[in-house]
Structure 1
Amino acid sequence: MRIFLAGGTGFVGGHLRRELVARGHSVRLLVHRRSGTQEPGIEQLEGDATVPSSLFAAARGCDATINLIGIIREFPQRGTTFERLHVEATRNLIHASREAGISRYLQMSALGTGPNARTGYFATKYRAEEELRNSGLDWTIFRPSVVYGPNDEFVNMLAGMIKALPAMPVIGDGSYQLQPIAADDVARCFAGALEIPETIGQTYALCGPDRLSYNELLDSIARVLGMKGVFKVRNPLALMRLVVPVLQRIPLFPLTSDQLEMLVQGSTCDGSWSATFGFTPQGFESGIRAYLKR
């Protein structure tokens, strides 16, 4: 198949590109500007998912669309908003797919979203899902938990902090739970869905096998780094909810109100997705050991 891939230049996109090509697919990759690097099986085509007219040529002649576009933080002064990148971009890609005669469409969403979402990130992710559910296309939606891998932002950031700081700040009591999933496993699900007809019209929560509290996750990272433990300093949740909205105005501050609420909400699932896709996901500690040690 020839796959029209939007949002495929980022972290998960790199894993998915390799998985698709390894399975014999060719990829038409939507990029803002062509790079000088050529990957086998990958065709770069310039366009912008927020500019509908730039998408038709990219979608034409393809057999399926995959949308990985997403941001975790807004910068409204630059036009980078959840509304624009999650909802409008999805709407434009659906329209371009219809115009190109593409019926198969896979969408990256987020574990924790739903009709009663309380954050801007989750609310717009859910509205993007609704655009797709009402599109008439043969859709599949994936909602992954925290995704980790060699170039991830979350685990690498925590590892850097653990190595550099005498104590790790923990919001609240750190008991909220996460179930991280490897980027390679997410890529296998997306690519596999193209080959499994029963995934059409389904929404899958994706998570790894290890359900860890935030405190346990920090301890796991420390063990992989060869450290005996992590000294943790608790920051009261009520105080953080007052402080973060002020500090998030500073671009380099690493946390927003949305991210705070999503973190303490937790991100877990029952793992039933693995029965459909036929493989066991990688364990967290063995997965991060493959790249944090280096």
Structure 2
Amino acid sequence: MASNLDTLVTIFGGSGFLGRSVVRALCKREYRIRVAVRRPELAGHLQPLGRVGQIHAVQANLRYPASVEAAMRDAGIAINLVGILAPGGAQTFDSVQAQGAGTVAKAAAAAGARMVHVSAIGADENSPSHYARSKAAGEKAVLSATPTATIFRPSVVFGPEDDFTNRFAGLARMSPALPLIGGGLTKLQPVYVGDVATAIAEAVDGKAKSGATYLLGGPEVLSMREIMELILAITERKRMLVSLPFRLARLQALFLQFAPGPLKLTPDQVELLRSDNVVSESARAEGLTLEGLGILPDSMEAVLPQYLWRFRKAGQFSQPRGAA
């Protein structure tokens, strides 16, 4: 009987936030992992996730097809996790999330490998957001080269190293108020990074439908206001929540897109918040969800206290409110 150790999986973008969880999930299932990243010398943190020799990092850049083809050599499965929240230099939405996704798919097709591609629920070729349009273009390019590819569209992903909950918790530490763009009415279905990684591992195992698009969301649909309130409650901080109209938020984003750390906000991110980011009823009906893969998703309330404690005034030593 063939072992998973006989299968080499190439993960593009495997050193990032979602990537390290995917690497961990596949190592537990005893696959051999090749992590294709722009800076392999900075991927050493992945080594403890597997056994000696199980994980190997190589250099690859989605803007250079030859490097992608080399990273796919002898691999049986390709996973594309590469994505950016804001463009920078040559790393544009189109070059990375549209053309880059197509480059990976073409290399996978040439190698005769199966393809798993991670997109986003907001992917829409008619969206006012460049990010969302490039995600849709990437899906189209992937299916054009590999029609049997499995595509995952997660809602906003949270976890210990995310740029979502950590960002707002960090902002609450330095600011007396938190902005609610559009009044904080936008609906999201935050999904735990470990659950997304498990879904990808299930697809690698061949348990997901080929050519299908799965929408991945957590157990609850929450507004941005509710998420902010939850973060404040867990970090034990009292902050004002100030409604910010979309037009004013976009104007501020013209300047804040150059700001460092949690203050950074781009006009494109403002556009994304105009639309809800939740799992559709059609996906539920067709079983193209986490539950359809047999995965019971974790809630924010269950997971956030495990890592947001560091934003409390006394960190892990803070006493619960009301304690003696």
TM-score relative to the length of structure 2: 0.84
Quick one: which of 94, 100, 121 aligns to 1:89? 100
Change (3 A) 1:198 1:250: closer
SS at match of 1:24: coil
Matched, 1:3 2:16: no
Distance 1:60 1:267, change over 3 A: same
- Whole-Å separation in 2 of the counterparts to 1:48 and 1:198: 28
1:285 aligned residue = 301
1:30 is aligned to 2:36:
yes
SS in structure 1 of the partner of residue 184 of structure 2 = coil
Counterpart Cα distance in 2 of 1:291 and 1:285: 11
1:231 and 2:240 are equivalent in the alignment: yes
Give the aligned partner of residue 111 of structure 2: 100
Counterpart pick for 1:70 among 67, 79, 83? 83
Give runs of aligned pairs for residues 18-167 of structure 1, distance below 5 A. Answer: 18-35=24-41, 37=44, 38-39=47-48, 40=51, 41-75=54-88, 78-102=89-113, 104-167=114-177
The 8 Å contact of residues 70 and 86 in structure 1, kept in 2 or not, is answered as yes
Which residue of the other structure, out of 250, 255, 264, is the alignment partner of 1:247?
A: 255
Query: In the TM superposition, what are the counterparts of 1:192-211 in structure 2 within 5 Å?
Result: 192-211=202-221
Alpha-carbon distance in 2 for matches of 1:162, 1:22 = 37
Q: Deviations over 1:131-170 (max 9, x none)?
A: 1122244201111111011110111010111232212122
* Structure 1 match to 2:198: 188
What residue identity is the alignment partner of 1:223? A
Q: Which amino acid aligns with 2:80?
A: N
Unpaired runs of 5+ in structure 2?
1-6, 311-324
1:249 CA drift (Å) = 5.3
Q: Is the 8 A contact 2:199 2:295 kept in 1?
A: no
Query: Please, what is the CA RMSD of the aligned residues?
Result: 1.8
Deviation at 1:248, TM superposition (A): 4.6
Alignment of 1:214 onto 2:224: yes
Q: Identical aligned pairs, as a percentage? A: 32
Question: Aligned equivalents of 2:133 and 2:17: distance in 1?
Answer: 23
Q: CA deviation at 1:195?
A: 2.2
Q: TM-score, normalised by structure 1?
A: 0.92
TM-aligned CA deviation for residue 33 of structure 1: 3.3
Task: Give the drift of 1:115.
Answer: 3.3
Give the deviation of 1:251 after TM superposition: 4.8
Residue matched to 2:313: none
Structure 1 letter corresponding to 2:28: A
Is the partner of 2:41 in helix, strand or coil? coil
Secondary structure, in 3 states, of the residue corresponding to 1:27?
strand
1:170-215 Cα shifts (integer Å, max 9, x gaps): 2222111111111000100001112245521110111101111111
